[in-house]
Amino acid sequence: MMKQLTKAEEEVMQILWELKEANVAALIEEMPEPKPAYNTVSTIIRILESKEFVGYKKQGRGHIYFPLVQKNDYSSASMSKMVNDYFNGSFKSMVSFFVKKKEMSAGELEAILKEINKDD
């Protein structure tokens, strides 16, 4: 079972997936204002390392970090967890929830159904 990430950890991972590899300064560079402190991002990266989401290589006196988990693997695991936690494991329940909320167009629904059927 893949570990879940906090919102802050996920934010850092999104940037790292985008950049492929980066040091802490490069990650901060990509973050929206107000930018977090260097120590904050450094701490998050170390947590991600302990959760085995991130690896690093030494470069000079610093570290270059890179993802160990692929973005689509994390997305799939997160989605499965959400479906299991909130919709009793039923994608159908989840889809009908969003349809009833009027937050999903017919086109989006069609795309999701295609996607679900593709995996069978």
pLDDT tens sequence across 81-98: 888 888 888 878 887 887
Taking Cα atoms as reference points, which of 1, 15, 17, 7 lies closest to residue 70? 17
Q: What angle do CA 116, 68, 77 make, to 5 degrees?
A: 25
- Using pLDDT thresholds of 50, 70 and 90, give the confidence band for residue 108: confident
pTM: 0.74
Residue 70 main-chain phi, psi, to 5 deg = -75, 150
Calpha distance 64→79 (Å, rounded):
29
The per-residue pLDDT for 98 is 79
7-67 placed in CATH 1.10.10.10: yes
Count the residues in the chain.
Answer: 120
Strands (E), the chain: 54-59, 62-67
How many C-beta atoms lie closer than 10 Å to residue 116's C-beta? 12
Ranges of CATH 1.10.10.10 domains, the chain: 7-67
pLDDT tens sequence across 27-62: 999 999 999 999 999 999 999 999 999 999 999 999
